[in-house]
Amino acid sequence: MSNVVVVGLQWGDEGKGKIIDVLAEFADLVVRFQGGANAGHTIGIEGREPIITHLVPTGALRPGKQVVIGPGMVVDPAALIEEIDMLQGAGFLSEPGRLLVSDRAHMVMPYHKLLDRAREAAKGDAKIGTTLRGIGPCLEDKAARSGVRLADFLRPEKLAERIGPRLQEINAVLDMLGQQRLRLDDVLADVAGQAARLEPFAGDAGLLVRRQMARGRNILFEGAQGALLDIDHGTYPFVTSSNTLAAAACTSLGFGPRRIDCVVGVAKAYTTRVGAGPFPTEMEDDRGEMLRRRGGEFGATTGRPRRCGWLDLAALRHAVELNGVDSLCLTKLDVVGGVDRIQLCTGYRLQGEPLEGFPATVERLQQVEPEYEQVEGWPEDDSLGSAREFEALAAPARRYVQKVEAMLNVPVDMISVGPGRNDTILLNNPFRRS
Ligand code: IMP
């Protein structure tokens, strides 16, 4: 048996969806543990249109796998119903009982989305660039103990009591932000119908996961966003509102940290960021534009163009430490092809001195000077995309991978060379490592 956690090591969008889809073949259960519909996991199955999931774990695309939305997640009921309908319409998730949604997960209410939007608008140029999915306001309510959990949502007759007082506070804030007030009846209007749709999926997800662990099942934990967006360790305040690190799988589902057998860290062969915030290796020139175009770097959730830059090993080293990464997965290696000389950021300097660790403030991170090492690029051709073994990669591409491995001191066990399931070099299967 094995419990494998897959997490992003950058600012999200590392290609985790595809990697989780590949690894789901070896898992009995696929479990999401944090975030919500701010995530967008794109899976390319040969011979069909790519499928994007935001809430339902990627394992839904593999017949027979049980998929779980964990207690640490925030769930937008309308988005979840739409996604279930989309997946069922595409021929997935049709067996009853395949999806379990934790009755402890917090619900994203319409006022959370309204507040997210109103606050971002009020911030003007200082906005975070959130996905506007209501994630931050929902998690604020959770911490303030004013939230609505799925178990509460399923009892609409009790809900008015619970959210009435909170709505008064929210209306005061909406007034302040120059927005229209919300009426309790309007907020509750859709709840009964949504509750009836979601009830068959609701249950104790933590209990299921612990029981399945005890039975020796293979469990894959699907991370969302990335280490640099973590609320405690990321580039605060330009972060999401949850813990995005591997350890969050334990607190979300409720099991001990020693149960995790392998942490897989996913990093793109270059770096991207969507939304505002510091980005030391950003390339605001035609090379950045080339990566955006070749890599199709537009948000899967919001469609926004992603900012692009060179691979940042200083930031990755930090992310590897934060997660205790055992196994690395490098994605989109094919996208870097066609660049003569590649720059690799190997460390940061601050006021001329090498910097140990990762700066706590945006101001300090904006001041760092990345130290670059220039490495040889490889030709832009199809042979890289069709490589299924490490030896089939062009020699400079192999050296690039080996350099990353040596600088981070973690083995690269998977390499992705294209969007499809089969465009993957699996050197070492994380489920068979322990
Ligand atoms: P929020 O999670 O919608 O509150 O957005 C906060 C920050 O996290 C913004 O910079 C978003 O662009 C970023 N973010 C949230 N989810 C993702 C994701 O799945 N991929 C990449 N960036 C994300």
Q: What is the pLDDT of residues 201-244, one digit of tens each?
A: 999 999 999 999 999 999 999 999 999 999 999 999 999 999 99
Question: 283: closest CA among 293, 297, 272, 299?
Answer: 272
Q: What is the pTM of this model?
A: 0.96
Cβ–Cβ under 8 Å, residues 320 and 8 = no
Do 137 and 175 belong to one domain? Answer: yes
How far is the centre of ligand 1, averaged over its atoms, from the C-alpha of 175 (Å)?
26
Convert the pLDDT of each residue in 241-270 to its tens digit: 999 999 999 999 999 999 999 999 999 999
The span from the CA of 205 to the CA of 210, in Å, is 9
Residue-range definition of the domain harbouring residue 113: 106-196
With a CB cutoff of 8 Å and minimum separation 6, the contacts of 299 are 13, 40, 131, 274, 305, 306
Tell me: pLDDT of 374 over 70.
yes
pLDDT digits (tens, 9 = 90+) for 38-61: 998 888 777 788 889 999 999 999
Q: From CA 72, how far away is CA 423, in angstroms rounded?
A: 32
Residues 298 and 378 in one domain: yes
Contact 331, 266 (CB under 8 A): yes
Ligand 1 site, CB within 6 A: 11-13, 38-40, 128-131, 133, 135-136, 224-225, 229, 238, 240-241, 274-275
Q: Is the pLDDT of residue 389 over 70?
A: yes
Residues 75 and 117 in one domain: no
How far away, in angstroms, is 129 Cα from ligand 1 center? 8
Boundary (domain end) residue, out of 196, 219, 248? 196
The percentage of residues in the chain with a pLDDT greater than 70, rounded to a whole number, is 100
Number of domains into which the chain is organized: 3
Are 328 and 408 within 8 A, CB to CB? yes
DSSP state of 259: G
Please identify, among 146, 170, 196, the residue that sits at the C-terminal boundary of a domain.
196
- Compute the average pLDDT of residues 261-285: 95
Active-site residue, from 21, 41, 76, 413: 41
On whether both 38 and 61 belong to a single domain, the answer is yes
| Atom 9 of ligand 1, nearest CA residue | 130
Atom of ligand 1 nearest to the CA of 304: 12
Q: How far apart are CA 356 and CA 375, in angstroms?
A: 23
67 and 207 both lie in a single domain: yes
Beta strands in 188-326 (DSSP E): 202-203, 219-222, 262-268, 271-273, 307-309, 311-312
Distances (CA, A) of 57 to 141, 143, 296, 399: 24, 25, 23, 34
112 is catalytic: no
Domain closes at, from 262, 279, 313: 262
Q: Are 309 and 279 in contact (CB under 8 A)?
A: yes
Q: Is 233 a catalytic residue?
A: no
User: What number is the average pLDDT over the span 170-194?
Assistant: 93
What are 2-39's pLDDT values in tens digits?
999 999 999 999 999 999 999 999 999 999 999 999 99
SS3 for 31? strand
CATH number of 126's domain: 1.10.300.10
